[in-house]
Amino acid sequence: MFKASPRVQISDWDKAAVASAETPAAGDFTSLSTSYAKMQGGFASVTNAPLPDWHLYDRGRVVFTLPTLGNADNTCILELLAIDADDVQYSLGRSTLASGGFPPIEFDVTYEKYYVRVAAIGGTTAAVTVKAAVQGFYRSGLATS
């Protein structure tokens, strides 16, 4: 039996009319389990972790909304990347646009920071708009608080 977290949309992974492949920098990756506080003009700004209990999950799943494309003959591949403490990027899976949209990407939870990028896009007026959400899941009885 598996238990899963709710799906959490990650706004940093949203794509709005992206027309070319992306090459993310280390700062583009989103931490799923760490909250941050920043001081700006004497005020603290807090960014809460999307999934603070991310480390409890065995597997993760990224799901996508139905995309909007610039033209019906477009091709598009989305890729889930992870980054380690040494800023080395790893590909955890790809999702190729199909007739029903982008299939989900499932992966082992071994990292904290992730990014969804447009790996390839083609077509006469190629541009993709899509949103992504993540959810964690684990086998019941294995996770502890």
What stretch of H or E contains 105? Answer: strand 105-108
pLDDT at 145 over 70: no
pLDDT classification of 53: cutoffs 50, 70, 90:
confident
Looking at residue 59, its pLDDT comes to: 92
The class of domain 2-24+32-139 in CATH terms is: mainly beta
Q: Which of 92, 89, 88, 74 is nearest to 15 (CA)?
A: 74
pLDDT at 139 over 50: yes
pLDDT classification of 125: cutoffs 50, 70, 90:
low
What stretch of H or E contains 59? Answer: strand 59-64
What is the dihedral sign for C-alpha 67, 61, 136, 87? negative
Model pTM? 0.84
pLDDT classification of 44: cutoffs 50, 70, 90:
low
Q: How far is CA 15 from CA 24, 98, 100, in A?
A: 13, 17, 18
